[in-house]
Amino acid sequence: MALNDNPSANLALELVRTMDRLRGRIRSETGMGASPWSRSQLAALHRVVYGSPATTSDLAAAEYMRPQSMAQTIGMLEQHGLVARRPDPGDGRRMLITATPRGRKEAERWLEAREAWLTAAIDQTLTAEERAGLTALMRIMERLADSDVPSEARRGPGRASDV
């Protein structure tokens, strides 16, 4: 996508590029590239470890993934002993995904490595004013992630409709 006359479109493009660069740098600095786990597997594991027990569908919705993709992700984590399924005490037809002790340990190790590099980068690179700005930016990014933009806007110009 080339730069155009729409300032919001240009901002969106730069935001995506910057997030991709930061995500790549975090992967590189923390050795995640050598990890046996994909980013989506680690994100799902993190959500299971630090969230409440949830179904595969709940996790898929929270991670903006298709339920089938999340089922594959959870299946791989389960196969390696990082998560387990158990019946929902309130509705025995539903299966809740919970972290195993090994899964908790893996998530904590990954989170510590990621936070260590990013903490050092923030401390050594940003001024106090920039850190305050970063705090405000995180609130804005959370609002964007939680926004309820109509599906027509998500499709963008020139994309096929869902009719």
pLDDT digits (tens, 9 = 90+) for 79-131: 999 999 999 998 888 999 999 999 999 889 888 888 888 999 999 999 999 99
Compute the half-sphere exposure of residue 155: CA atoms within 13 Å on the CB side of its CA: 10
Q: Cβ(45)–Cβ(79) under 8 Å?
A: no
Determine the pLDDT at residue 130.
97
Per-residue pLDDT of 44-89, as tens digits, reads 999 999 998 899 999 999 988 999 999 999 999 999 999 999 999 9
The residue among 153 and 23 whose pLDDT is bigger is 23
pLDDT at 156: 54
Q: Quick one: which of 149, 152, 140, 136 has its CA closest to 64?
A: 149
- pLDDT class for 1, splitting at 50, 70, 90? very low
**Residue 163 pLDDT > 50:** no
The sign of the dihedral angle between the CA atoms of 32, 35, 41, 42 is negative
Task: Please write the tens of the pLDDT for every residue from 2-59.
Answer: 567 889 899 999 999 999 999 888 878 876 666 678 878 888 999 999 998 899 999 9
Interatomic CA distance for residues 74 and 83, integer angstroms? 7
Treating both helix axes as pointing N-terminal to C-terminal, what angle do 67-79 and 39-50 enclose, rounded to 10 degrees?
80
Is-above-0.75 flag for pTM?
Answer: no
